[in-house]
Amino acid sequence: MPGYVTKNLQRFNHSPPAEPQHAPHSYTPPKYGVKKQMAEVDESPPITDAQKKLLQQIVGVFLYYGRAIDNTILVALSDLAAEQTEGTEKTMQEMNQLLDYLATHPDTTIRFRKSDMVFHISSDASYLSVRRSRSRVGGWFYLSEEASSKSDSPQPKNNGPVLVIANILKNVVGSAAEAEIAGTYTNGTEGCPIRTALEEMGWPQSTTQIEVDNECAEGFANRTMKQNRTKAMDMRYYWILDRCDQKQYVVVWRSGKVNRADYHTKHHSPTHHQEVRPDHVYEVKTSS
């Protein structure tokens, strides 16, 4: 979408940053070894009605662009959308950082490569990574070649995504494992209509792999984990077990380092954004 970002930055009177901004949102480094890590509390003043309207306009304008082209901004947009009605001055700072990031990377592109049209899903979740003790789900949906469901087998080749998810879970989960299972459920339900569409287009699908990086989520879905206290878990998550029994899905464990949905579940450092951005959008190489 050439010129879309530049045109809308001009619309919102946003000037280019003095220094390139390579992270669409702020990053707080984890404090390793600390027994207690306190939740961040935003005590900055609330924004005015005019600022709320501006925030809503920016979220609306760039959400389409994020879902269609630049999926690297979806986490930042998710956070801003959650604060549209009760934003603060810090929310406006986060909004300006996103605009600086868009000004630094104004003409993002994605590339789709020829494949065997086999549908794959990478699923991930981050526990308590959102304000008010909420969690976020990420999903990377793409078409590639047939691949083994063994965890030590080669990962299917990456491709341009047909769908990317970066959603805040509405329901409260009690553990990281439950957040991962909720992510598997969310991505599984989103994948069903895509599977159906592919089959109706003449591309019959075998069992679709859902890749996770949590052994509890993999064991839960494949019934290889002994369940002791899962009555506390939302019953809707058992849907994924039924779909695995029907051979519609198979849940596969692979290391989090290769999980393509990890990027869309949490706030990363600017260095990490620069390292993995070429995995999620197409970076045009320019000769120096």
Tens-digit pLDDT profile for residues 118-129 = 999 999 999 988
Q: Per-residue pLDDT for 230 more than 60?
A: no
For residue 207, what are the CA distances in angstroms to 81, 118, 191, 250? 35, 9, 12, 6
How wide is the angle at C-alpha 180 spanned by C-alphas 244 and 23, nearest 5°?
Answer: 130
Q: What is the pLDDT of residue 202?
A: 96
Query: How confident is residue 234, by pLDDT bands cut at 50, 70 and 90?
Result: low
For residue 83, what are the CA distances in angstroms to 50, 87, 136? 14, 5, 15
Q: What is the mean pLDDT of residues 72-82?
A: 95
Phi, psi of 76 (to 5 degrees): -60, -45
Cα separation, 192 vs 187, whole angstroms: 9
Cα separation, 144 vs 158, whole angstroms: 7
Q: What is the pLDDT of residue 285?
A: 59
Q: What is the mean pLDDT of residues 124-135?
A: 89
Question: Which residue in 258, 254, 137, 151 sits closest to 188, CA to CA?
Answer: 137
Q: What is the pLDDT of residue 61?
A: 96
Q: What is the pLDDT of residue 42?
A: 72
Strand duo 134-144 + 208-212: pairing: unpaired
Q: What is the pLDDT of residue 238?
A: 85
Lookup: tokens for 92? 């406006």
Place of tokens 């002994």: 226
Query: How confident is residue 220, by pLDDT bands cut at 50, 70 and 90?
Result: confident
The DSSP bridge partners found for residue 209 are 120, 250
Cα separation, 280 vs 118, whole angstroms: 19
Tens-digit pLDDT profile for residues 17-69 = 999 999 999 988 777 776 666 667 777 899 999 999 999 999 999 999 999 99
Coil, helix or strand for 283? coil
Coil, helix or strand for 151? coil
118-263 domain in CATH 1.10.540.10? no
Tens-digit pLDDT profile for residues 140-191 = 999 999 988 887 888 999 999 999 999 999 888 888 888 999 999 999 999 9
Query: How confident is residue 90, by pLDDT bands cut at 50, 70 and 90?
Result: very high
Mean pLDDT of the chain: 90
Q: What is the pLDDT of residue 128?
A: 87
Lookup: tokens for 244? 């695995």
Cα separation, 206 vs 124, whole angstroms: 22
Q: What is the pLDDT of residue 168?
A: 93
Per-domain residue ranges of the chain: 1-28+46-108, 118-263
Question: Which residue in 96, 165, 167 sits closest to 130, CA to CA?
Answer: 167
Q: What is the pLDDT of residue 127?
A: 92
